[in-house]
């Protein structure tokens, strides 16, 4: 988070920490996830993008291909849709052709309709659990 003003950095940390607390329900697990995220963003292929009330972890997987992870209050579909729309515009602007994410549920399909993105859905497994993979061509 080099080059960000202290207020921006503080807001990013607040959003991510609140999200991890909600997901884990444990301060110990939250701290572990924060440490893992800090380690991840040390890599050149990983960036945090702060848009609205959300922080997106963008992982470059190949030329023009990124994996996205959303952190923030996902109970507000309209706000999330607005931020995803901004993210899609940002990614197009830096020559990303394909973005994908994955989840156990299918909430992303509803969001995709709200932002008018064409989404392809695939079934897969991660850590032995079934997941839905959502792919968007930008």
SS3 2: coil
Domain edges within the chain: 44-137
Q: pLDDT (tens digit, 9 = 90+) per residue, 65-94?
A: 999 999 998 777 888 889 999 999 999 999
pLDDT of residue 64: 97
Q: Length of the chain in residues, anyone?
A: 138
CA separation for the pair 71, 37 (Å, rounded): 11
CA separation for the pair 59, 29 (Å, rounded): 22
CA separation for the pair 14, 125 (Å, rounded): 31
SS3 48: strand
pLDDT of residue 110: 79
Answer CATH for 44-137 from 1.10.10.350, 3.40.630.30, 3.30.200.20, 3.40.50.300:
3.40.630.30
CA separation for the pair 129, 100 (Å, rounded): 18
Q: pLDDT (tens digit, 9 = 90+) per residue, 15-71?
A: 999 999 999 999 999 999 999 999 999 999 999 999 999 999 999 999 999 999 999
pLDDT of residue 109: 78
């Amino acid at each position: 988070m080099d080059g960000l003003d202290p207020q921006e950095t503080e807001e990013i940390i607040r959003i991510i920490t609140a999200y991890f607390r909600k997901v884990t329900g444990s301060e110990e697990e939250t701290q572990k996830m924060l440490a893992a995220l800090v380690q991840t963003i040390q890599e050149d292929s990983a960036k945090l993008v702060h848009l609205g009330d959300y922080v997106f972890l963008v992982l470059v997987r190949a030329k023009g291909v990124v994996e996205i992870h959303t952190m923030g209050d996902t109970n507000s579909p309209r706000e999330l849709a607005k931020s995803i729309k901004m993210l899609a515009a940002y990614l197009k602007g830096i020559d990303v052709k394909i973005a994908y994410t994955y989840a156990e549920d299918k909430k992303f399909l509803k969001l995709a309709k709200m932002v008018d993105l064409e989404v392809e859905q695939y079934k897969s497994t991660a850590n032995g659990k079934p997941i839905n993979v959502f792919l968007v061509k930008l």
